[in-house]
Amino acid sequence: MTTVGEMSDLLAWGTASAYAIALVAFAIDLSGRLGVRSVAREKALAAATPASGASTVATDVVDPAVRDTTSAGAVSEATARRAASLTSPWKAWSVSKPLAIAVSVSWMGLALHLAAIVTRGFAAGRAPWANLYEFILVGAFFAMAVFLVVQTRWEIRFLGTIVSGLATLAIVVALNAFHVEAAGVQPALQSYWLVIHVGIAVLATGIFTVAFAASVTQLLRDSRDEGSPMLASRRWSWLDQVPTAAQLELLSFRINAVGFVLWTFTLVSGSVWAEDAWGRYWGWDPKEVWSFVIWVVYAAYLHARTTRGWSGRRAAWFVVVGYACVLFNFTGVNMLFSGKHSYSGV
Amino acid sequence: MSGYRPEGIENAFAEDGAPAPASRPSGELPALGVVGWLRWGWRQLTSMRVALLLLMLLAVAAVPGSTIPQRPQDPSKVVEFFDDNPGVAPWLDKLQMFDVYGSVWFSAIYLLLFVSLVGCILPRAKVHWIALRARPPRTPRRMGRYPAQGARVYAASYTPAQVADAAAAHLRGRGPLPRFRVEQGTETSAGARAPEGEPGPVHVVAAERGYLRETGNIVFHLALVGLLVAVGLGQALQYRGQAIVVQGRGFANSVSAYDTFSEGPWFREENLPPFTMVLDDFTSTFTDDAMPVAKDFTAFVSVTDPAGTRLETIKVNHPLTIEGAKVYLQGNGYAPRLTVKDADGNVTFAGTVPFIPEDQVYTSRGVVKVPDVVTGEQIGLVGYLLPTAQLSAQGVRSLHPDLLNPVLVLTVWTGDLGLDDGVPQNVYELETEKMTQARTADGQPVTLMLAPGTTVDLPDGLGTLTLDDIPRFVALDLRHDPALTWIAIFAFTAIGGLMLSLFTPRRRVWLRVSTRSDGDGPARTVVETAGLARTDDAGLQPEVDALLAFLDTRDPAPDDRPAEDNPTPDDSPATDDLGETR
Ligand code: HEM
């Protein structure tokens, strides 16, 4: 007889396997695109060049009417703007067979994943996100879910390799290194704030993951466009088919904006809860420190986007740093520091 | 340095040909003179670039507080750190590294940031206030340069006035609040012809939406300022007291009744609400696992205030609120009731002593100090309470936090407790410098073991020790921060403003309708539209398309429409996009 908790673990392994298959299929799809030089890329590049600081045009919010009053200049800038906006034409990501498989298997994995989480919740008799193992399990779920839902609206399937890779890695690491038996929680955690605060925090983490994937792709594409020798080889030629760096920047921003609002809510709801549970709304506990650091880094990111000279590439590096802080907050802070948040069962 | 030009000032939506405000080229210095330098400094401080640098600094400055022990959070860890790192610790201390969040440098960063924020946001708010009253901008003459465009040609029977009215109605929307702010008008233009061939008026519609975006941004930033002020006021007015209360006992809410008390500089003792509280009972439940985990703690108390006495409970996560002050259940444990008699039978100590739990099974450590001996030396007892003791070859340990088989294990010290030195002592530690430990003949420390209700002899004829019973104690934390409500209001306002500012699309839509006839052909109604968004906006072209689609539905004679002039929607620029995959 397997218990419900063991069933959850089996489902989690199943999920990891499905994602691993999806990862391979996504990667095969990318490798199938090698060497195909996209016409769209040439066009976009050509369009973006006349404006000063090509890739920063999109984020540096400037009205053509103000910047340039000569008709020709205005038109070329409008074109550049369009080339750099999400609504601009870019070659749709054609559906290869491996890609179709990858997406289907990802959906199947997501279903298994959901089942793993729900059974975990039943086994423990509470919301299934109260220790590190569960945070990671649920965070990976949200990352995949956000990716899969967003790709039904926007063509972002080229992010599949990174997102499914991170999700697979997360689940396998969680199962091997952080797994604990499903159990109830101590009195301090018996609160609906566990559902709200931690749930939102984990959701935000999933969202940041997808945005991170977009920013990494942006940096890669930008480097290749700039002629970086490391990315010049044919192995990286699939980058020519993804949207322009400016479009990716915008995509990342859209997703990060949602993540940032949720993270703000994480901080506020955490404070409300801390006020009741610990007798102060803010106490610079290590977890609080790092949540604050993450928040400030992403706030800096939002400001960087609108600061001349800091948009584009530099803004993307903020996302990378911010996401590194998110991961550290999730794992390192629980393991290295002792604080009030030491509930994670490590 | 080219500073950030606030949205309204930069006027991204300026009329055609409006000159862009000059931004100082980098490196150029302002005119000399104190005022000039001050102005220059202020402009730098309130620039976006400096705000960005300060934000980055803030993030970096916050980190050491998570790696180095902090005095306000955990003073004992700081002491430990000093012991372990005698070399660097004093230096770190000089840099205020043990109180990062109260340090001069951390405060300087966030205060500068907030000054910068105010200096940045207030002018923006003013500009926005004016913009809120301004009319939508004039309809441009050339639509070709805008990121979203569309055009239609209708039969002349669908007059420009009808088209303009329909467009205005559509853009305003039917709800109580207009979707767009809309302005309609006419112009004369050389290219336009009245049906009779005379120059006719051109109908123009200008519409703008999304003012809430900037409103939200300003609200968000100002709410952050409000939050900081409220937190600061709360710090100045708050107070916090800690008391350990043994079952059956109580305390009055006064500064002296607390074991520790801390307050903000603006706190006045008369602000303490008058009440007394008695701990009637305390219950705890644990799981039955090998490693028992607490499931519930509840303190049952009677509270007496001027209104009378009432029974209340305090639980973890559920503080008790008494006149704005919150009482938290922060800890609990056992407080054995002990009686010490000397050899002559005089009672030298009688009372409860809280033993502090040190692990999940409540292995609790405590110290009994017996200073009031009639003759001889003072006595100190140190040891552990094991709620569910198990004896084995390795020694004795506790298996469960409940009192299933309680045993008190103590060693005995005699000498000078050091209480008369005038130096405040930790009640949970025994200062053994001037004391000696009682030992058996073979040199082992004497160990006393007691179950409740038993009496044992103290070594060396010092007398007897009785463990009467083992009541519970709770550690209560009372706190009052009068700013809490404001903090919450500002925090949630900030979230609201943030959402508005990030998710409100800001768009302008223009429409020109004129009657034209080229050469001998029939007169036609020509519609041109354009859209402009404040930021990259995936919904802009769909907005323009929806407007045109709506105009189509109002065409009184759709069958007369000169079809060859109308582009199919798929040809309109900028629609096939990163969007739709299926
Ligand atoms: C405590 C410090 C600050 C925090 C936490 C903060 C946070 C934020 C956040 C989260 C946003 C994104 C909302 C949006 O894009 O509309 C934002 C935008 C903005 N912030 Fe700040 N901010 C701070 C200080 C400042 C300062 C000092 C300035 C001025 C120098 C400033 C000017 C702006 C402006 C102009 C925007 C809008 C950017 C845009 O046009 O999209 N902020 N801020």
Q: What's the per-residue H, E or C state across B331-388?
A: EEEECCEEEEECCCCCEEEEEECCEEECCCCCCEEEEEEECCCCCCCEEEEEEEEECE
**pLDDT averaged over every residue in chain A:** 81
State residue A293's pLDDT score.
97
Q: Which residue has the higher pLDDT, B531 or A241?
A: B531
Cα separation, A322 vs A213, whole angstroms: 12
**What is the distance between the alpha carbons of residues A192 and A198, in angstroms, rounded to a whole number?**
10
Q: Taking residues B469-486, what's their average pLDDT?
A: 93
Residues B407, B395 contacting (CB under 8 angstroms): no
| CB interface of B with A, residues 240-299, below 8 Å | 240, 287, 289, 293-297
Say whether pLDDT at A161 is over 90.
yes
Whether the model clears a pTM of 0.80, i.e. scores above it, the answer is yes
B231 against A53, higher pLDDT: B231
Pick the residue with more confidence: B41 or B424?
B41
Distance CA A199, CA B355 (A): 37
Identify the pLDDT of residue B306: 87
Q: Do the Cβ atoms of B131 and B214 come closer than 8 Å? A: yes
Of the spans A66-70, A151-155, B408-412, which averages the highest pLDDT?
Answer: B408-412
User: What is the least distance, in Å, from the CA of B505 to any CA of chain A?
Assistant: 12
Average pLDDT over residues A189-215: 90
Q: Between B58, B70, B499, which is nearest A296 by CB?
A: B58
Residue nearest ligand 1's atom 23 by CA: B117
Asked whether the beta carbons of residue B577 and residue A190 sit closer than 8 angstroms, the reply is: no
pLDDT in tens, B320-370: 988 888 999 988 999 999 999 988 888 999 999 999 998 888 999 999 998
Residue B436 near chain A (CB below 8 Å): no
Instruction: Decide if pLDDT at B23 tops 50.
Output: no
Look at residue B413 and tell me whether its pLDDT is greater than 50: yes
CA gap B518, B504 in Å, rounded: 42
B44 versus B551: the higher-pLDDT residue is B551
Tell me the CA distances in angstroms from B6 to A62, A310, B536, one per residue in order.
12, 16, 18
User: Contact B212/B510 with Cβ under 8 angstroms?
Assistant: no
What is the pLDDT at residue A93?
Answer: 67
Mean pLDDT of B266-285: 89
Compute the average pLDDT of residues B494-516: 92
Could you give phi then psi for residue B313, rounded to 5 degrees?
-120, 150
DSSP state of A54: G
| Residue B48 beta carbon below 6 angstroms from any ligand 1 atom | yes
> How many angstroms separate the alpha carbon of residue B217 from the centre of ligand 1?
7
- Of the candidate ranges A53-57, A296-300, B423-427, the one whose mean pLDDT is the lowest: A53-57
pLDDT (0 to 100) of residue B531 = 92
pLDDT at B30: 53
Residues B413/B367, Cβ–Cβ less than 8 Å: no
Residue A270 contacts B, CB cutoff 8 Å: no
* Closest residue on chain B to A271 (Cα): B488
Residues B173-183, mean pLDDT to the nearest whole number? 87
> For ligand 1, is residue B470 a contact (CB within 6 Å)?
no
| Contact across the interface for B4 and A67, Cβ inside 8 Å | no
Q: Is there a contact between B73 and A81 if contact means CB atoms under 8 Å apart?
A: no
Minimal-distance CA residue to ligand 1 atom 28: B117
Q: Is B213 in the pocket of ligand 1 (CB under 6 A)?
A: no
pLDDT confidence bin for B19, thresholds 50/70/90: very low
CA distance A88 to chain B (A): 5
Strand partners, B184: B205
Q: Does B76 touch chain A (CB under 8 A)?
A: no
B215 C-beta closer than 6 A to ligand 1: no
Going by alpha carbons, the residue nearest to atom 7 of ligand 1 is: A299
Q: Does the pLDDT value for residue B90 go beyond 90? A: yes
| Residue owning the nearest CA to atom 15 of ligand 1 | B502
The torsion defined by the Cα of B517, B518, B520 and B524, in degrees rounded to 10, comes to: -30
Give mean pLDDT, residues B522-551.
Answer: 86
Helix B540-553 / helix B160-172 crossing angle, nearest 10 deg: 130
pLDDT at A67 exceeding the cut of 60? no
Q: B219 CB under 6 A from ligand 1?
A: no
Q: Measured between alpha carbons, how far is B181 from B211 in angstroms, rounded to an integer?
A: 10
Question: What are the Cα distances from residue A336, in Å, to A96, A137, A286, A333, B356?
Answer: 45, 20, 10, 5, 26
* Among the ranges given (A146-150, A227-231, A313-317), the one the predictor scored with the smallest mean pLDDT: A227-231
Provide the pLDDT confidence category of residue A125 given band limits of 50, 70 and 90: confident
List, in sequence order, the alpha helices (H) in chain A: 4-31, 39-48, 64-67, 71-83, 97-124, 132-150, 160-177, 192-193, 199-225, 245-277, 286-305, 313-330, 332-336
Residues of B in contact with A308 (CB under 8 A): 2, 4, 49
Q: Has residue A55 got a pLDDT over 80?
A: no
Residue-level pLDDT at B361: 87
Find out if CATH 3.30.530 is the number for domain B138-210+505-565: yes
Across the range B552-556, mean pLDDT stands at 89
C-alpha A308 to ligand 1 mean position (Å): 14
Helical (H) or strand (E) element with B230: helix B211-237
Shortest Cα distance, chain A CAs vs residue B99, angstroms: 10
A302 lines ligand 1 (CB under 6 A): yes
With CB atoms and an 8 Å threshold, state whether B573 touches A257. no
Structure tokens at B53: 């640098």
Are A267 and A292 a contacting pair, CB within 8 Å?
Answer: yes
For the ranges B303-317, B439-453, B553-567, the lowest mean pLDDT is seen at B553-567
Residue A35 burial class via C-beta count within 10 angstroms: exposed 0-12, middle 13-18, buried 19 and up: exposed
Mean pLDDT calculated for residue range A210-227? 93
**Closest approach of B502 to chain A, Cα-based (Å):** 7
- Return the ligand 1 atom nearest residue A299 CA: 10
pLDDT at residue A21 in the model: 95
Three-state DSSP class for residue B396: strand
For ligand 1, the distance from its centroid to the CA atom of residue A303, given in whole angstroms, is: 6
pLDDT for the residue B227: 97
Contacting residues of B for A250, CB less than 8 Å apart = 536
Q: How far is CA A28 from the centre of its chain?
A: 22
Q: Taking CB atoms and an 8 Å limit, are B577 and A88 in contact across chains? A: yes
pLDDT tens figures, A162-195: 999 999 999 999 999 888 887 776 666 667 888 8
Tokens of B335: 């407080």
Compare B77 and A296 and report the one with higher pLDDT: A296
The predicted pLDDT at position A58 comes to: 35
Question: Does the structure show a pLDDT above 90 at B190?
Answer: no
Structure token digits, residue A256: 């990060």
Where residue A205 falls among pLDDT bands split at 50, 70, 90? very high
The H or E element containing residue B547 is helix B540-553
List of residues 6+ apart from B419 with CB closer than 8 A: B369, B371, B378, B425
Residues of B in contact with A264 (CB under 8 A): 494-495, 498
Amino acid at B247: Q
The pLDDT score that the predictor gives to residue B195 is 55
Q: Which of A63, A188, A257 sits opposite B12 (nearest CB)?
A: A63
